[in-house]
């Protein structure tokens, strides 16, 4: 048998693999757990509300994918992957790269703000020292 045909058939076998209920429930459980953790962190003030939408979106995406595995299979065919799990990993990696870049930008901005604040404190401190020295001179007798 032609080797190319064999590989193509093998890929079809992977893609035709019936959905596993266990996989579906695992994805649903993880998304529910993610939402619960996000809510818990917000309640503890460990996570600010403005940072929650991305995680809620991830959770919603997981729910959607676990309910519509047929769409995941179509996407897998479209991008040339062999198995739906590969597609999930690929999307996950893209997401991680994007979020790391996003946080690096936020961190850079926060670093600049911290530096500016520290410089402002230094300048204010010099001003306080100068005022203190002037008051001390004016308070001296004679």
Instruction: Give the footprint of another protein on residues 98-117 (CB under 8 A).
Output: 112, 115-116
Which among 55, 49, 64, 65 has a CA at the least distance from the CA of 35? 55
Rg of the chain, C-alpha, whole Å: 28
Nearer to another protein, 29 or 112 (CB): 112
Best CA proximity match to 95, nearest among 84, 107, 87, 83 = 87
Q: How far is the CB of 11 from another protein (least distance, A)?
A: 42
| Distance from the first to the final alpha carbon of the chain | 111
Q: Is 36 in the site for another protein (CB under 8 A)?
A: no
**Pick from 15, 19, 27, 26: which is nearest to 65 by CA?**
27
In whole angstroms, how close is the CB of 114 to another protein at the nearest point? Answer: 9
Q: Which is nearer to another protein, 36 or 130 (CB)?
A: 130
Q: Which one of residues 12, 70, 129, 135 is an interface residue with another protein (CB under 8 A)?
A: 129
Using the rule CB under 8 A, which residue among 7, 53, 124, 135 binds another protein?
124
* CB-nearer residue toward another protein: 93 or 135: 135
Taking the least distance from each CB to another protein, the nearer of 9 and 115 is: 115
Tell me whether residue 95 is exposed, middle or buried, using C-beta atoms within 10 angstroms of its C-beta: 0 to 12, 13 to 18, 19 or more. middle
Residues at the contact surface with another protein, assessed by CB under 8 A: 112, 115-116, 118-127, 129-131, 134
């Amino acid at each position: 048998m032609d080797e190319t045909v064999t590989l193509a058939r093998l890929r079809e076998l992977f893609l035709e693999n019936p959905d596993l209920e266990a996989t579906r429930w695992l994805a649903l459980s993880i998304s529910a757990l993610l939402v619960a953790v996000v809510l818990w962190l917000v309640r503890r003030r460990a996570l600010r509300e403005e940072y929650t939408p991305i995680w809620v979106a991830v959770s919603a995406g997981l729910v959607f994918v676990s309910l519509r595995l047929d769409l995941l299979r179509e996407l897998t065919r479209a991008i040339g992957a062999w198995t739906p799990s590969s597609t999930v990993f690929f999307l996950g990696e893209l997401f991680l790269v994007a979020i790391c870049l996003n946080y690096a930008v936020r961190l850079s901005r926060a670093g600049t703000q911290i530096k500016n604040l520290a410089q402002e404190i230094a300048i204010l401190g010099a001003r306080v020292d100068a005022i203190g020295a002037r008051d001390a001179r004016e308070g001296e007798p004679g």
